[in-house]
Structure 1
């Protein structure tokens, strides 16, 4: 008999929820609903070090809706985790307490390693990785996780403080703009390079795997801008062409002409450049986009309580 659960991902750019049915006999999940609320906690934390009172109220309203949704869909078990922005917020304990008090939902603040493990869990259930060496790139608002696998076994993961919202705030602090992303990438390579060198013989990584909303958006842009399909993978050449076409387009026009949400339009180029940098550094020519992420991993973790 199917067991209904929900998973909530409190990220730096949004708070996402997924309701799914778990089928224990097959260890498969059936997604019932997905939700997303544009609560950009990273803007507060990466600029001020705390989650502002206004953002806490937005988050409380979001969690109230999610709590009501759990009741409407008869969800008995909900697992909620918070990542980069909450990890770094000086008032994270207050945030967790206020959410619990207003919605009844407990929040776990997880580290980058656990975040990488949960996303890897989702990917291994979605893709056949036997006898393949892969590099998983999860692009978030506050951090990017780069995970190496051999088959379904995770061999190394590292979280880097180089998420898309953090990149925007760093540029703003330095009075720089999108055209100066190469400066941030140069700094990022000092940490990224050793991680790739230690875990990858360049000619043995079969392909990369990309997760996160920005990767899914880039897959759609392949179809929209390049008139190529399918949207489920990108070559490095295609990614580079998308970046070249997006850079001259103003954020307003990305919203109006490319039908992007405002909180996607301003981070899509930083996300693309970040993925391009990692692929170039690892000499990887192709990235698969399976359209799963942390929420899916959370649900899979609740099969036989894999934690």
Structure 2
């Protein structure tokens, strides 16, 4: 017997989805992810990811503004993303800008230009909202029940350190010590990668206070790392150490990866490890930031769930 029209309709209803996109305007790149959200379950299916190497942080952290050249590149990137959204049937897009855009003196010019030329509205969010969205992505991916965890998001302009008791976020703080900012700080002082500890030492007091306040009497069970640099470090575990899986790192493994990377020039990281140029120069600062935070929190393991701000943005649109 054929199913009734009502039954067919109800079955189809279970698979109704919306195609939406999320754009993360960071200090090192502008990334977009398109996903189908199945609201009844709910779950998301990633359709496509895009990345444009637009280093807004270089401008802002050295000159205080997004330069005309970068504005043009960003404009072209958003026009391309808007066209992609239309071609792939995206019904809703949310775009957020973080550290570099927060500090840019011509922030309004940037936001207005992108809206006028692409129709995409940019929200400039603070570090707390950034931490909340990343936490949302992580708790959708990992089972955090009955565990205390520390989330570390390494960006180009800032680092967000968030504490979670079970699935509940209990504290988050943003620190202006991202990878691009560190590189620009080194260049400004005519220092090299070997002097990284000098730069990081300037932030260690505030960072240590945040960690001490949230895990001294109640230590974390593990850390969770998000962002492209963490995902790259997971891949380097296989590439450099010949170990698996790539979904977590021990502190000892991370330290060994740092030693191996520091023995290679940026050019060699590109040629021998096949890292993108805009990853090869920031990967050591990123790894050392993670190492410092893990040591401060006295935790030996960091999970790498391969989700981040864009995933949190997608979930936030449900």
TM-score, normalisation: structure 1: 0.98
Q: Which runs of 5+ in 2 are unaligned?
A: 1-15
**Residue 284 (structure 1) aligns with:** 299
How far did residue 204 of structure 1 move? 2.5
1:109 aligns with 2:109: no
- 1:63 aligned onto 2:63: no
Select the residue among 162, 170, 182 that pairs with 1:147.
162
Find the counterpart in structure 2 of residue 156 from structure 1: 171
Q: What residue is the counterpart of 1:25 in the other structure? A: 40
In the other structure, the counterpart of 2:53 is 38
| Ranges in structure 1 where 5+ consecutive residues have no aligned partner | none
Do structure 1's residue 98 and structure 2's residue 113 form an aligned pair? Answer: yes
SS of the residue aligned with 2:73?
A: helix
Structure number with bigger Rg: 2
Distance across 1 between alignment mates of 2:166 and 2:149: 8
| CA distance in 1 between partners of 2:37 and 2:225 (Å) | 24
Q: CA deviation at 1:188?
A: 1.5
* 1:124 paired residue among 118, 129, 139: 139
Q: Residue 262 of structure 1: which of 274, 277, 280 is its match?
A: 277
* Contact 1:202-1:282 at 8 Å conserved across structures: no
After superposition, give the CA deviation of every residue in 1:220-275 in whole Å (9 maximum; x if it has no partner). 00000000000000000000000001101010110011000000000000000000
Query: How far does residue 202 in structure 1 lie from its aligned partner after superposition?
Result: 6.3
Partner of 1:211: 226
- Cα distance between partner residues in 1 of 2:22 and 2:83: 14
The C-alpha deviation readout for 1:127-170, integer Å capped at 9, x for no partner, is 00000000000000000000000000000000000000000000
Give 1:295 deviation, angstroms. Answer: 0.3
Deviates more, 1:25-34 or 1:158-167: 25-34
Deviation at 1:203, TM superposition (A): 6.0
Q: C-alpha distance in 1, partners of 2:123/2:48?
A: 22
Q: Aligned partners of 2:289, 2:97: CA distance in 1, in Å?
A: 22
> Aligned to 2:190, what secondary structure does the other structure show?
coil
The DSSP-based 3-state class of the residue aligned with 2:239 is helix
Shift of 1:187: 1.3
Equivalent in the alignment of 2:31: 16
Distance of 2:104 and 2:298 partners within structure 1:
35
Which residue in the other structure is 1:136 paired with? Answer: 151
2:3: which partner in 1? Answer: none
Contact 1:202 1:283 in 2 (8 A): no
Residue in structure 2 matching 1:181, options 193, 196, 200: 196
Alpha-carbon separation, structure 1, partners of 2:122 and 2:169: 26
- Assess, with a 3 A threshold, how the Cα gap between structure 1 residues 270 and 202 changes in structure 2: closer, same or farther: farther
Decide which moves more: 196-205 or 138-147. 196-205
Are 1:4 and 2:15 counterparts? Answer: no
Q: Once superposed, what is the RMSD of the aligned Cα atoms? A: 0.7
Q: In the alignment, which of 82, 87, 94 is matched to residue 79 of structure 1?
A: 94
Instruction: State the alpha-carbon separation in 2 of the partners of residues 185 and 58 from structure 1.
Output: 31
Q: CA deviation at 1:201?
A: 2.7
Question: In 2, Cα distance between the equivalents of 1:212 and 1:220?
Answer: 13
